[in-house]
Structure 1
Amino acid sequence: MNIRDLKLFKHLTGTLHFGQTSQACNITPSGLTRTIQRLENELGKKLFTRNQRTVTLTGSGRIFASYADEVLQSWNKLQNDLNRDGILRGELTLYCSVTAILSILPSILERFRNTHPRVHINLQTGDAAMALGRLESGEADISIAALPDDLPASLTFKKIIETPLIFIAPKDAGKTVAYRNGSIDWQKTPLILAERGLSRSRTEAWFRKKRVVPNVYSQVAGNEAIITLVSMGCGVGIIPELVLLKSPMKEEVKILQISPALQTFSVGVCTTIKNMHNPIVSEFWHNAGNEPEHET
């Protein structure tokens, strides 16, 4: 086995999807299959169980994934130890939402790239609710994420900014928002929720405190999709204010003044504690600001 094989294996343990990994790693699906088969032949154990719908890690696969993690971290350290010219080399995989790319990453990346131009950065984008999962699966080295109410013990977090969680309505809210006794009637006003993630859990907690079962119109992945549906008059949505400020559709919606306000988001960089031993991750962390705001 070689380092590239281990990298392909590790990526596949995160996606559990041969097509996604082959596309992301620039290898044909058949080439990826042969790589995994070669590893299984060398180990004498099945690493994945596959059927027509799903791919899952076997018990042996989970053990080998820990081994691959250790080898790849040692490899990165070796590469830098061998190059004693003080220049950091290697790869860093970042995962974040489009909003984070527009609002948070530019200044951090500029500082990091100016200091460490030989580090290649792989940037992955997607639903912010998936950010912590990408770290735990090993698909990303660092994520830009919202601090959850309970940060897993394996992760560490550094706050960069705080942003309110806000209610938004169409510009012409009169056709969408229903009122009763001067307050929004949530049983008649359609509500657009995040499919998963921190904003979803905090919204549900907010309605539980009010002892109201809202009229849920739609559940979608991604804050940008919520803004789009709201702008079309489909209902009221709940998103971090930071997302709205960077949205090209911000003029198509308006913020509703709702009391009590939802709990604010702390947004920052997040990684696994074991990743902090990686000099590239450690340097990026340093460039992201001061000492960790929250660490377990």
Structure 2
Amino acid sequence: MHIESLEYFKQIAKVKSISKVASNSHISQPALSQQVQKLEDSLGKKLFIRSNRGVKLTESGEIVLKYADNMIRTYNKMLADLNNQKSKEIKIEGEHTIATYCLPCAILNMQFKFPSHEYNLIAASSAKIEQDVLSDICEIGFTTRPVEAESLNSQEVINEKVVLISPPAFNLPEKLKLEEILEHKFVILKEDCIIKENFKAALTDLNYNFDKIDIISRLDSTEALKTLVRKGYGVAFVPYNAVRDEFSAQEINVSRITDYNLDYDIYMINKKIELLSKEATEFIANFKKLGKHICY
């Protein structure tokens, strides 16, 4: 199976059109159809149902799509490793908020200690990170949950404080009980995350339904949450590391919930030490020495 056929297959599955992919890829439509046919022949399965309105995946196509992205990225990682056999780059993936606010300062500390190391930091979901470590797409991952795979190591390395941020005009105190904030308007992330899960669990303990919360906006990023809070639209739960600068500049207020612990641990995950490069092993051993509050 040629990796190029898989790449074309993935693109067609996304846009549901062979002609559009052919145009975007500067390849003739018959040549692209031939690539798809070769892939189907090699697998012995029909992957697309063709019609005048485009194409859609068959049941077999859905299965191939499930694995195609990881196979392509693994192949590209292999090529990168072959082209950089003397490189000391360490590929690291972190859950989105961790990669944005927590890891950069920690990695800078490591860079001072190991100036010959190079670090490639990428943001991803915790589930994807675990799969990428298993597939050797990255060597080290940082997630909000311990790993499920028995072949991986995981260790708590950072404790992340979660705070309620609010506009200064709200004049909220530094310490609050959860029930004291429930009448406020909230801005939250669209996707499920550990902060939202912990918030929901605390509300359940209070016999309060999450759906009763006045949510004025569901956003894609913590940066977007901060923007709406700064503009006075509502309150939000975020990692303290994400708002230290705004808090210092008095652009927002920060409060801690006293009756529920919404903080969470960050886990470093990796394969067994004997399977890692010398550089990755050095990183892991010394990262642990930084302690759980490396970014404060």
* 74 and 187 in structure 1: CA distance in 2 versus 1, 3 angstrom threshold: closer
User: What are the within-5 Å matches in structure 2 for residues 74-113 of structure 1?
Assistant: 87=86, 92=91, 94=93, 96-97=95-96, 100-101=99-100, 103-105=102-104, 106-107=107-108, 110=111
TM-score normalised per structure 1: 0.61
AA at the equivalent of 1:162:
N
> 1:162 — aligned with what?
159
CA distance in 2, matches of 1:292, 1:56: 45
Contact 1:186–1:212 (Cα < 8 Å) also in 2: no
CA distance in 1, matches of 2:153, 2:241: 22
User: What are the within-5 Å matches in structure 2 for residues 173-188 of structure 1?
Assistant: 173-174=170-171, 185-188=180-183
TM-score normalised per structure 2: 0.61
* 163 and 36 in structure 1: CA distance in 2 versus 1, 3 angstrom threshold: farther
User: What are the within-5 Å matches in structure 2 for residues 242-281 of structure 1?
Assistant: 242-245=241-244, 251-270=250-269
**1:6-53 C-alpha deviation (Å, 9 max, x unpaired):** 6x479x49xx7469xxxxxxx94566x935554334434244679989
Contact 2:188–2:237 (Cα < 8 Å) also in 1: yes
| 2:209 matches 1:210 | no
- 3-state DSSP of counterpart to 1:172: helix
CA distance in 1, matches of 2:194, 2:207: 20
| 2:220 matches 1:224 | no
CA distance in 2, matches of 1:76, 1:161: 28
- Give the number of the structure whose alpha-carbon radius of gyration is greater: 2
Contact 2:74–2:135 (Cα < 8 Å) also in 1: no
> 1:114 — aligned with what?
116
> 2:184 — aligned with what?
189
- 3-state DSSP of counterpart to 1:238: strand
- 3-state DSSP of counterpart to 1:251: coil
| Structure 2, unpaired ranges of 5+ | 17-22, 289-296
- 3-state DSSP of counterpart to 2:116: helix
Choose the corresponding residue for 1:133, options 124, 128, 137. Answer: 128
AA at the equivalent of 2:243:
L
The number of aligned residues is 265
Contact 2:74–2:136 (Cα < 8 Å) also in 1: no
Displacement of 1:140: 8.9
Displacement of 1:242: 1.7
Contact 2:130–2:147 (Cα < 8 Å) also in 1: no
Contact 1:164–1:240 (Cα < 8 Å) also in 2: yes
- Of the structure 1 ranges 87-96 and 191-200, higher mean CA displacement relative to structure 2 is found in 87-96
Displacement of 1:282: 5.2
| Structure 1, unpaired ranges of 5+ | 20-26
Contact 1:135–1:141 (Cα < 8 Å) also in 2: no
AA at the equivalent of 2:39:
L
> 1:241 — aligned with what?
240
* 78 and 185 in structure 1: CA distance in 2 versus 1, 3 angstrom threshold: closer
Displacement of 1:163: 1.1
Alignment RMSD: 5.4
Contact 2:90–2:280 (Cα < 8 Å) also in 1: no
